[in-house]
Amino acid sequence: MNSLWIALGAGVLYLLAYYTYGRFLAKKIFQISKNNICPSVAMRDDVDYVPTKKQILFGHHFATIAGTGPIVGPAIAIIWGWLPALLWVVFGSIFMGAVHDFGALVVSLRNQGRSIGDLAGDLISKRVKVLFLLIIFFLLLLVITVFGVVIGSCFRLYPEAVAPVWLQIPIALALGYLVYQKNLNPTLMGIIAVILMYGTIVLGSFFPLAMPSLGVNFGDGVWEMALDPLEIWIILLLIYVYIASTLPVQMLLQPRDFINSYQLLIAMLLLTGGVIFCHPVMVAPAVNTVPDSPPVLPMLFVIVACGALSGFHSLASSGTTSKQCAGEADAQFIGYGSMLVEGMLAVFVIIACGAGIASGVGGSSDAFSQYYPNWSATNGLSAQLKAFIDGSTNMIATMGLPPKVIISLMGVFVVSFAATSLDSATRIQRYIVGELARFCKLPHLAGKHPATMIAVGSAFLLAFWEGSGKAALNLWPLFGSLNQLLGGLALLVVTVYLAKRKTAVIFTALPMVFMIAMTGWAMYYNVIGFAGLKDGVNPNYLLLAISVIIIIFEIWMIFESAVVLYRTYGQPNDKN
């Protein structure tokens, strides 16, 4: 099938969904009102609570939720064929992912910008609040640690991206100063910042920076330590996110993510141009049977992750975005719209990995088998990123751009979005640690710096608990299932909220039931493997214990929520 029709069909469906289903949800279900005062105005402190123009906040929110999820997930899932991955990305993002993000944002906007986990205590019970916050803490711990490893690995794979990614920081700081302190036009300043950033990309493509290994010697050889480039990058990144997550949000995170929103627009325009000029035929099979792979059901819904639905998005919506949204009328554009854009990005990933990979080797159908010979070949970050970046480069190069620059551009694109997820996750983790500390009556740990030290320090310990920065990847099999489970539980909280307002819940309840069922099934599949009950699979008792504990938490939360839903319909109407 020609990839141009796939891209065109997906784009039309997303536009129709935004102006029909999105508006229906905003008007009839969430009952958006421009007269409601948002927390960014009522609780403004110019550090976390900052009223922000919707275009800037859209960029910040999208850069936070995107990360490498909509790239890596679909790039793996296409091994089962492009059709299952495409159907889930398109319809999952319209009817589940965007509803999830939009709902979490609205509920938080109407409750002082509090996180979805904190709100579970008010809507369901205090016990559920603690359970939910613990699940969120563990997920964010994985996000911070694993994304640090991901970015470090990207820097090793694509040293051309090192200089542009780090030079983006002073550019973003200057942009924030000019917009907020000098009141200059944010669109014009953003365009200038993007031009400067693309200048650094050209510079990086010709002057790649590779991190050398480092040997540390203390006490005349009494204590020695050798750090490889990946470990050095992880340490530097954790130092950076500590600083970034404690700065006022409008100083660095907002302007940098605003730049990244332009970068996304340019990258997607280039990908669109590549599809139009190249219009490669899909060489990936529509449906593919892979003998050594996990079952497509339920694992497809776990692996695609951010391309269709992600629990991490609820943390972004209720953790940082709700504290910056200037008006409730902006919520559909930011919450529902950004998920559709992310879905479109995932569609381009499917096209790049399913068609673009062949456009540089004569259109041979053998290209897919070269990149996806079996399931084990998709393990590891390099295989997934290579399929996307090579496929994208092949398509974009048909427009006459130098492949060397395209590779640098796409490498920076991937790393930039991973970096925004990393420091936003750290900022959200600070809020979660603070909420847990206050609940445990330890207010001295809820402060900005103590909470951030716990967030960053726990990630450091997880990354190096085996003496190597790669240790966190041992927990990766649990990450996808936990992330999607959180999405189902966030939809559960939104459903309870709507039920208490006597509003129709079917539009959040059906996605909630589906995701909890699929992730529960996936976690059961993982538990069998972690217990060593699959042929050829060694037991992993750490992951087994964590999985069992989370499953118990999940069942507990669902039970208490079901009791609340059962009792709610007999109570008076509550529109708060």
467: left (phi over 0), alpha (psi -120 to 50) or beta: left
- Identify the CA nearest to 67 among candidates 148, 181, 3: 148
Mean pLDDT of 151-161: 83
Percentage of residues of the chain with pLDDT beyond 70: 92
d(CA 518, CA 530): 18
| Six-digit token string for 34 | 């421009």
Please report the domains of the chain, with CATH numbers, ordered by start residue: 3-568 (1.20.1740.10)
- Report the range of poorest mean pLDDT among 221-235, 257-271, 386-400: 221-235
Average pLDDT over residues 125-150: 84
**pLDDT confidence of residue 575:** 52
The model carries a pTM of 0.86
As to burial, measured by CB atoms within 10 angstroms (0-12 exposed, 13-18 middle, 19+ buried), residue 572 is: exposed
pLDDT tens digits along 538-550: 787 877 888 888 8
For residue 228, is pLDDT > 90?
Answer: no
| Per-residue pLDDT at 569 exceeds 70 | no
In order, the DSSP letters of 140-191 are: HHHHHHHHHHHHHHHHHH-GGGHHHHHHHHHHHHHHHIIIIIS---HHHHHH
259-264 mean pLDDT: 80
Highest-pLDDT range among 5-19, 46-60, 388-402, 479-493: 5-19
pLDDT at 98: 96
Say whether pLDDT at 89 is over 90.
yes
Residue 509 — very low, low, confident or very high, per pLDDT cuts 50/70/90?
Answer: very high
pLDDT band at 365 (very low <50, low <70, confident <90, very high): low
Q: How confident is the model at residue 192 (pLDDT cuts 50, 70, 90)?
A: very high
Pull the structure tokens for residue 571. 């109570």
Closest CA to 18 of 264, 333, 447, 304: 333
- Min mean pLDDT across 48-57, 125-134, 459-468 is at 459-468
Contact at 8 Å (CB) between 93 and 342? yes
Of 379, 371, 316, residue with least CA distance to 342: 316
In the numeric block, the tokens 């008792």 are attached to: 541
166-190 residue pLDDT tens: 999 999 999 989 988 888 888 888 8
Q: Which of 435, 352, 427, 379 is nearest to 119 (CA)?
A: 435
Question: Is it the case that residue 204 has pLDDT exceeding 80?
Answer: yes
Question: Cα–Cα distance between 413 and 396 in angstroms, integer?
Answer: 14
- Cα 410 to Cα 397: distance, rounded to the nearest angstrom: 12
Q: What is the pLDDT of residue 570?
A: 56
Q: Does 454 have pLDDT greater than 90?
A: yes
Torsion of CA 423, 262, 319, 168, to 10 degrees: 20
Confidence of residue 362 (pLDDT cuts 50, 70, 90): very low
Q: Is the pLDDT of residue 347 over 90?
A: yes
Mean pLDDT confidence for 365-369: 77
Q: What are the C-alpha distances in Å from 550 to residues 94, 232, 450, 479, 556?
A: 28, 32, 27, 12, 10
Find tokens 């690995």 and name the residue.
153
The answer on pLDDT for 380 being more than 60 is: no
pLDDT at site 22: 97
378 vs 277, higher pLDDT: 277
Mean pLDDT of 387-391: 87
What is residue 352's predicted lDDT score, i.e. its pLDDT?
92
Q: What pLDDT is attached to residue 220? A: 57
- Where residue 15 falls among pLDDT bands split at 50, 70, 90? very high
pLDDT (mean) for 241-248: 88
pLDDT of residue 558: 86
Say how many CA atoms lie within 13 Å of 291 toward its Cβ. 1
